[in-house]
Amino acid sequence: MATFNLDIPFDYRFTCWFCGEGSHKTIVATITTHQQYYSVNMPICDECKSYKCHIDVQSLVKLRELIKESMVKQSAKALSIGANWTEKELQESDLNGSAFDGFKKSGWSMYLIAKARVNYSGWALSINGIPIEGNLIDEEFEFDGLSFTSFVSMLDYLSNAFSLNKEFLKRVLAIYGNNRAIEAVKFCRLIPHYSRSEREKAVNDLIESFREKESLAYKKNIVD
């Protein structure tokens, strides 16, 4: 089967389709639409290629998901700067000493670069001027201006950025629901959860408080 070259708009020459950084390499990926199956050369940067996701996976949808997951893991430190500081706070912080000089100077731009790479969504795909129809994005998860290609990836980010026990956060998120991730994170940050018994107690208390709220809402509905 022939491998096609993707159409590359002028503004995107030498650009990684996965993260928007400079690219001078390609990898082969497959795209399946309702009518067609394509094998395509996808422009990729050194960093995205170094994750080696293309060795195991060829489907572009899956590949994009895995590359973004690796990106979130690799950029954990840079992403956590934006989760814990504002630009102004960072500049005005009284972190002193040579260890912090570099951090104060370049920390915010490191965060912005990492954020832009994670959120980058590529350009519309076409081959010889013919658009490739089809949805390349499954479901995305959003938190504080960042898009994640999987729930696991969002968990990786949140547990790293806010130094939370990942298993604990996962259980708390299951109780709150993914659409209330901010509240779930706030809860985890407030509640001591260093030991297993502390985590068990916190989860049990949370379930109990949700039950109470539900039964109150139920009673209120009957009265109304």
81 lies in the binding site for Zn ion (CB under 5 A): no
To Zn ion, the closest distance from the beta carbon of 66 in angstroms equals 13
Closer of 43 and 107 to Zn ion (Cβ): 43
To Zn ion, the closest distance from the beta carbon of 17 in angstroms equals 8
Number of residues near Zn ion (by CB under 5 A): 6
48 lies in the binding site for Zn ion (CB under 5 A): yes
Closer of 21 and 87 to Zn ion (Cβ): 21
19 lies in the binding site for Zn ion (CB under 5 A): yes
27 lies in the binding site for Zn ion (CB under 5 A): no
Closer of 16 and 42 to Zn ion (Cβ): 16
Closer of 46 and 205 to Zn ion (Cβ): 46
| Residue among 6, 16, 90, 158 that touches Zn ion (CB under 5 A) | 16
To Zn ion, the closest distance from the beta carbon of 104 in angstroms equals 27
Closer of 48 and 184 to Zn ion (Cβ): 48
Q: Evaluate whether 146 touches 157 at the Cβ level (below 8 Å).
A: yes
63 lies in the binding site for Zn ion (CB under 5 A): no
To Zn ion, the closest distance from the beta carbon of 146 in angstroms equals 16
- Rounded Cα distance, 156 and 158, in Å: 6
Beta-carbon contacts of 166 under 8 Å, excluding residues fewer than 6 positions away, are 155, 156, 159
To Zn ion, the closest distance from the beta carbon of 4 in angstroms equals 20
Phi, psi of 140 (to 5 degrees): -120, 150
Interacting residue ranges for Zn ion, rule: CB under 5 A:
16, 18-19, 21, 45, 48
